[in-house]
């Protein structure tokens, strides 16, 4: 047989035994011996199509876990005989090993860290800092090596702190994430708690180290306040773990995403990089106000697909208290209000090109949001999660428009 198709299901996958016409695979869907589910993958005739048969009854939880696994992949010209108990290969045919196999552990490690870092938040942080930094630019000559160095320093320090915050949240939410986000490396068992603690500790230290080396007080305070709020949001200590309280949790996210990012990083460029007096310009006020709406929406919406795990573990999010549908439409209306306000701000601009870009850009985004929202199946977790990622895309798009507000 010249090819095989192996389902890449939630890690870790135990082993499979092969012959020419069939594959029996035991996919581990949890961490106990009873969580191994035997699967028969049979070849249909001489072609390259396969039938996957589960050899025991699967609960709804198993099926969901499988559906949320990774995509299938093909591995050509390879046959293995594997010890199903130990998962260790006993023998392989000549040519089965490949130089690519030596890179597999590296690729797996990078993939795990990629998921651990929550890349949508990393992108959002980088874009927001670059965008608000551009608000301090007044003339073409401001685009100097000093400007680019100052922005790079801020981005690096902030991304290190971002990974600390999202990592700490995963360490505190391992059991919840086994229900809500089983693909995350701590929930799946790819990372141990010790590994997670080591990563977040080192990234927090590196973030503060960069801030200290740079010597910018606005940058340092941005990092410090983000560290305090991010820790209080997640860590399970007396009077902390503020994410349990819906309003306090939303205020934490608003403080970081709307206030600290806009004002502190703008002041880093305005006062530290350029050495100019602190000024709250019209574009800065607009960015802070608009992103306050957006941050509240992100704080509310992120809990909609996670309602199952939050309800089980006593997290009283707005989605748990009010229901998914109501919170969904509250989020949509808040964003539409923000876009309407942005159109009004753009219409009052004395700069013609800024007026056109701001009005048309926000009107288009508002229209896309409304059209997309009406088609979302609120009974489907996959659909809701996809729409949440779409909201992050709108978040990114806004940071392309903010520097054009005048």
- The 10s digit of each residue's pLDDT in 247-304 is 898 899 999 998 999 999 999 999 999 999 999 999 999 999 999 999 999 999 988 9
pLDDT of residue 319: 87
- The 10s digit of each residue's pLDDT in 339-366 is 999 999 999 999 999 999 999 999 999 9
Per the CB < 8 A criterion, the answer to whether 387 and 118 are in contact is no
Helices marked H in 58-192 — which ranges?
Answer: 60-67, 99-116, 119-134, 145-172, 174-180, 185-188
Closest CA to 5 of 28, 31, 39: 39
The pTM is what? 0.73
- The 10s digit of each residue's pLDDT in 213-242 is 999 999 999 999 999 999 999 998 988 999
- The 10s digit of each residue's pLDDT in 48-92 is 334 344 434 444 444 444 344 333 333 333 333 333 334 444 344
Distance CA(388)–CA(307), nearest Å, equals: 14
- Given a cut of 90, whether residue 19 has pLDDT beyond it is no
Average pLDDT on 130-158 reads: 96
pLDDT of residue 98: 61
Per the CB < 8 A criterion, the answer to whether 101 and 232 are in contact is no
């Amino acid at each position: 047989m010249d090819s095989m198709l192996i389902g890449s299901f939630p890690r870790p996958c135990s082993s499979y035994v092969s012959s020419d016409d069939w594959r029996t695979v035991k996919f581990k869907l949890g961490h106990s011996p009873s969580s191994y589910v035997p699967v028969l993958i049979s070849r249909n005739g001489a072609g390259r199509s396969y039938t996957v048969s589960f050899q025991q009854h699967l609960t709804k939880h198993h099926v969901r876990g499988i559906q949320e696994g990774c995509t299938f992949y093909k591995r050509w010209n390879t046959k293995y005989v594997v010890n199903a108990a130990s998962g260790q290969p006993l023998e392989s045919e000549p040519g089965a090993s490949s130089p690519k196999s030596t890179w597999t552990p590296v690729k797996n490690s990078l993939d795990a860290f990629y998921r651990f870092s929550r890349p949508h938040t990393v992108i959002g942080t980088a874009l927001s800092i670059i965008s608000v930094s551009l608000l301090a630019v007044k003339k073409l000559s401001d685009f100097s090596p000093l400007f680019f160095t100052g922005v790079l320093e801020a981005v690096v320090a902030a991304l290190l702190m971002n990974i600390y915050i999202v990592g700490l949240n995963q360490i505190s939410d391992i059991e919840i994430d086994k229900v809500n986000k089983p693909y995350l490396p701590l929930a799946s068992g790819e990372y141990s708690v010790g590994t997670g603690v080591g990563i977040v500790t080192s990234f927090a230290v590196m973030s503060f180290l960069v801030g200290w080396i740079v010597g910018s007080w606005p940058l340092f305070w941005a990092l410090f306040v983000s560290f305090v709020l991010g820790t209080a949001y997640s860590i399970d200590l007396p009077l902390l773990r503020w994410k349990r309280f819906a309003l306090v949790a939303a205020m934490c996210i608003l403080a970081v995403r709307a206030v600290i990012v806009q004002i502190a990083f703008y002041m880093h460029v305005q006062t530290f990089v350029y050495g100019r007096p602190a000024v709250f310009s019209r574009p800065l006020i607009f960015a802070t106000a608009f992103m306050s709406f957006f941050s509240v929406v992100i704080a509310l919406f992120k809990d909609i697909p996670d309602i199952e795990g939050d309800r089980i573990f006593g997290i009283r999010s707005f989605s748990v208290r009010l229901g998914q549908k109501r919170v969904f439409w509250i989020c949509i209306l808040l964003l539409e209000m923000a876009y309407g306000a942005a159109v009004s701000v753009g219409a009052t601009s004395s700069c013609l090109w800024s007026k056109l870009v701001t009005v048309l850009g926000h009107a288009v985004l508002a229209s896309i949001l409304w059209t997309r929202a009406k088609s979302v199946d609120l009974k489907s977790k996959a659909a809701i999660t996809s729409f949440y990622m779409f909201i992050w895309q709108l978040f990114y798009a806004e940071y392309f428009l903010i520097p054009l507000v005048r």
